[in-house]
Structure 1
Amino acid sequence: MQAKLYIFISLGLLATVQALSDLATDVRRCSDDKPFPLEVRVDRCITPPCYIIKGSTQYFEIDFAVDKYITSMKAKVKATTLGIITVPYELPPEVAAVCPNLMFGAYCPLYPTEDVTYLFAFPIGEYPEIGVKVEISLVDQDDDIATCFVCDIKVVKGNVSGS
């Protein structure tokens, strides 16, 4: 009887830990009413600002739906610091390419009403330890935005767990 209770409690704790790690991150809409993702999960972050270690890779899982036939996609990032300075954040081609980084067996082409998950491995350079607003857009072969969101991050050094 005790062994069954122990297994039941262990499974319950495992499910709780898994559920907490799968919680969506509280991201914001981009300007101009651009399509918003179904859900975004930033590794180790539920409530921004997300603490991101410089020199590391931060993982985002972006769930989104498409409304047209898409043969290729790429990620684009803009970073805003001090609330006034906005610059494009160049991504390596293998990171910017959305189609090869789709999860759960999805692949391009994508068809209207299809929903998929993109694993975005965001490389964080050796930047000053500051707060940054990042706007992440996924654009298709026609340069139309399929989805877009904004997330506040705080670049930090060392081994910091997110919020």
Structure 2
Amino acid sequence: MAYTKCITLSILLLFTLLGAANAEKLPATDVKRCAGNKPFPLEVRVAGCIKPPCIIYKGTVQVFEIDFVSHKFVTNVTALVKATTLGVITVPYELPDEVAAVCPNLMYGAYCPLYPTEDVTYYFEFPIGEYPEIGVKIEIYLVDQDHDIVTCFTCDIKVKKGVSGNKVAELN
């Protein structure tokens, strides 16, 4: 009888802890699909932003967490960004190599290679340069070693004047 009570208590404790962990998780940011039939992430969290346009400050680093699924065997993944302003001007947004390299920035002990149906989280520190204070649509896509798109999404941002000194906007 004591054994049954112990198991019941353990199960209740587990559900309580799981509920508390889920309560801590920030809600997903409302990002959009890329044009075409590109794979969409499971979830994207942008620090400090649930409903775009996300306010992003010049001279800071904006943190994204991107949950995605690998649909094939992947040995390498690279992050690429395009920025569109005024609805017509699209340019590549160069990322530092250490940021663009997805595999070393996977969270929760994940690492490459990735196997089909494996889901992982990429910790993406997006450096915000000294750009005009305008609205921008960013397209973030992750490509594998064969240049196939692993996942892709767009997010509207609004660049604003930052505070002095570099700051990292992080998720809790």
Q: Which TM-score applies when normalising by structure 2?
A: 0.81
- The one-letter code of the counterpart of 1:31 is A
Amino acid across the alignment from 2:86: L
Q: Given the alignment, which residue of 84, 90, 93 partners 2:94? A: 90
Rg (Cα) greater in structure: 2
**Which residue does the alignment assign to 1:51?**
55
Note the alpha carbon deviations across 1:24-54, whole angstroms, 9 max, x for none: 0000000011000000000000000000000
Q: CA deviation at 1:157?
A: 1.1
Is residue 73 of structure 1 aligned with residue 77 of structure 2?
A: yes
Say which SS state the counterpart of residue 91 (structure 2) adopts: strand
Q: 1:133 aligns with which of 133, 137, 151?
A: 137
- Kindly, what percent of the aligned residue pairs are identical? 72
Q: Secondary structure at the match of 1:94?
A: helix
TM-superposed CA distance for 1:21, in Å, is 5.6
C-alpha RMSD of the superposition: 2.0
Match of 1:121 in 2: 125
Query: Structure 1 unaligned runs (5+)?
Result: 1-14
Q: Does 1:105 align with 2:135?
A: no
- The correspondence of residues 29-48 of structure 1 with structure 2, limited to 5 A, is 29-48=33-52
What SS does the corresponding residue of 1:134 show, helix, strand or coil? strand
Tell me the alpha carbon deviations over residues 58-95 of structure 1, each in whole angstroms, 9 at most, x when there is no partner.
00000000110000000000000000000000000000
The answer on whether the counterparts of 1:21 and 1:44 sit within 8 Å (CA) in structure 2 is no
Amino acid aligned to 1:27: V
Moved over 3 A (4+): 18-21
- Answer yes or no: is the 8 Å Cα contact 2:107–2:121 preserved in 1: yes
TM-score, normalised via structure 1 length = 0.85
Task: Tell me which amino acid in the other structure corresponds to 1:128.
Answer: P
- In structure 2, the gaps of 5 or more residues are 1-18, 164-172
